[in-house]
Chain A
Amino acid sequence: KNEVEQSPQNLTAQEGEFITINCSYSVGISALHWLQQHPGGGIVSLFMLSSGKKKHGRLIATINIQEKHSSLHITASHPRDSAVYICAASNNDMRFGAGTRLTVKP
């Protein structure tokens, strides 16, 4: 079993839909990261959180430390949100989930 598990693996949505991507981890963490990777390969760090909830525009990330679970939500999804979303757990190193490929159709 991977130390960082993401679901779903692939997700297709219609423009405007509310999207949730889940991440569960089995290791101790100092922070949980959500990354966005576009088709060209470039990676952008969306959130780093160790407790509670963070919001940036239409993106919301939450974490439940007791349950070792984090979610990334996208409200009013748009085709430009299409990307691979990667969850990563950091402590003394970085452990990555396999990623969720999101496709938002117009």
Chain B
Amino acid sequence: SQTIHQWPATLVQPVGSPLSLECTVEGTSNPNLYWYRQAAGRGLQLLFYSVGIGQISSEVPQNLSASRPQDRQFILSSKKLLLSDSGFYLCAWSPSRLFYEQYFGPGTRLTVT
């Protein structure tokens, strides 16, 4: 069966520090991968999606970037965190058609201080 992992589960980082959140999927190959953010008191927002290694699509301009170095690995990064980057970050995957049938990871709660 397929599983999706995210780490860390929680993170407290100072403003200006770098960020790296990792997401991996097991039990499938060539998944579509997604990063979402849920800021405090706000709805979910799609940040990035990827259909394959090295292929990243960005939905909104921001202080963040994403990379997919391996088929089942998706990384969210920042060189310098802002206070507004605080939120709950969710990774998800889907097996076939883009934006269909998504399975979500447990999430990372990021607090920028």
Contact = CB atoms under 8 A, between A and B. Distances in A.
B99 A45 contact: no
Contacts of A45: 101-104
Chain B, interface SS category: strand
A93 B88 contact: no
A41 B40 CA distance: 11
B41 to A, nearest CB: 10
B44 A96 contact: yes
A94 B94 CA distance: 13
Instruction: Please indicate which of the listed interface residues A44, A90, A92 has the most CB atoms of chain B within 10 Å of its own CB.
Output: A90
A42 B43 contact: no
A41 B99 contact: no
A19 B88 CA distance: 28
A41 B107 contact: yes
Contacts, number: 49
Interface in B57-80: 59
A90 B43 contact: no
Instruction: Please indicate which of the listed interface residues A43, A44, A92 has the most CB atoms of chain B within 10 Å of its own CB.
Output: A43
A93 B48 CA distance: 10
Nearest to B59: A93
A41 B43 contact: no
Given A43-B104, A86-B44, A94 B99 contact: yes
A11 interface: no
B5 interface: no
B28 interface: no
Contacts of B44: 86, 88, 94, 96
9 contacts: A35-B104, A44-B104, A48-B101, A86-B43, A88-B44, A91-B99, A92-B98, A98-B42, A99-B43
